[in-house]
């Protein structure tokens, strides 16, 4: 998979690309991630990429020319273009799975007060990671990239993500490790029994119980019936 990220703050991605699973996935060539400075596509003598909003208003607005030229330069026949914006579709695990099957993704990071409305015409999909506003789309693009890359075949073992929270509209079941008894809190006996069928049922029941207590809305969207 190839992921191109368009931003005016490429330095924000230095740590992200050189840490943990993302770093290993790049080194093992499961994914190629490139960060592109939008300013390099600006035709302004001073590499300016923003200007005041027509009609007045606070803050600066990203201009269309640099972003259109960047997408034109990078886009291929099989490219999916994503625009990170609070007005987008709420991001969910199902979307991460779908995106992990793409061959090429371009992610556009907004910033400042926003972006020229015409930039929306470039996007195949607009995504929001939550009902709040960030300084820019950089952190949101990292969230999407991380969630997608870990699902690419070979990046991590399939068993490591098949029972993730939000799969099958359920939160993940509780997990434990040593010691068996920590400050009076004990590991459930069934997990020590070695009885795989009972352990499986315990985990399924606990996942449903946790979801019902903490995120009942997920059950309304298609979780297990009582």
Can you read off the two tokens belonging to residue 104?
Answer: 């090429």
Q: Is the separation of the CB atoms in 107 and 16 below 8 Å?
A: no
- Cβ atoms of 137 and 109 within 8 Å: the answer is yes
Dihedral angle at the C-alpha atoms of 202, 207, 213, 214, nearest 10 degrees? 150
Enter the DSSP assignment of 136: B
Spacing of C-alpha 48 from chain mean position: 29
Q: Could you list the active site residues? A: 86, 113, 150, 164
Q: Burial of 199 by CB count in 10 Å (0-12 exposed, 13-18 middle, 19+ buried)?
A: middle
Count of CB atoms situated within 10 Å of the CB of 76: 10
Separation CA 123–CA 153 (nearest Å):
26
CA distances, 19 to each of 15, 22, 42, 107 (Å): 6, 6, 31, 20
Contact 162, 147 (CB under 8 A): no
């Amino acid at each position: 998979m190839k992921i191109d990220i368009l931003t005016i703050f490429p330095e924000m991605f230095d740590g992200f690309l050189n840490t943990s699973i993302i770093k290993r996935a790049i080194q093992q060539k499961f994914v190629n991630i490139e960060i592109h400075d939008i300013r390099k596509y600006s035709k302004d003598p001073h590499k300016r990429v923003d200007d005041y909003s027509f009609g007045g208003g606070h803050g600066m607005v990203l201009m269309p020319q640099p972003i259109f030229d960047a997408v034109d330069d990078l886009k291929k026949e099989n490219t999916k273009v994503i625009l990170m914006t609070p007005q987008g579709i709420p991001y969910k695990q199902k979307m991460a799975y779908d995106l992990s099957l793409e061959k090429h993704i371009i992610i556009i990071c907004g910033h400042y007060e926003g972006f020229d409305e015409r930039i929306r015409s470039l996007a195949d999909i607009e995504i929001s990671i939550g009902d709040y506003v960030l300084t820019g789309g950089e952190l949101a693009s990292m969230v999407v990239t991380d969630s997608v890359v870990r699902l690419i075949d070979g990046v991590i073992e399939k068993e490591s993500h098949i029972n993730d929270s939000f799969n099958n509209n359920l939160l993940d079941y509780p997990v434990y490790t040593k010691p068996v008894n920590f400050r009076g809190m004990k590991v459930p006996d069934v997990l020590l029994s070695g009885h795989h069928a009972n352990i499986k049922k315990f985990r399924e029941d606990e996942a449903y119980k946790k979801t019902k207590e903490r995120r009942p809305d997920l059950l309304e969207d298609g979780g297990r019936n009582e």
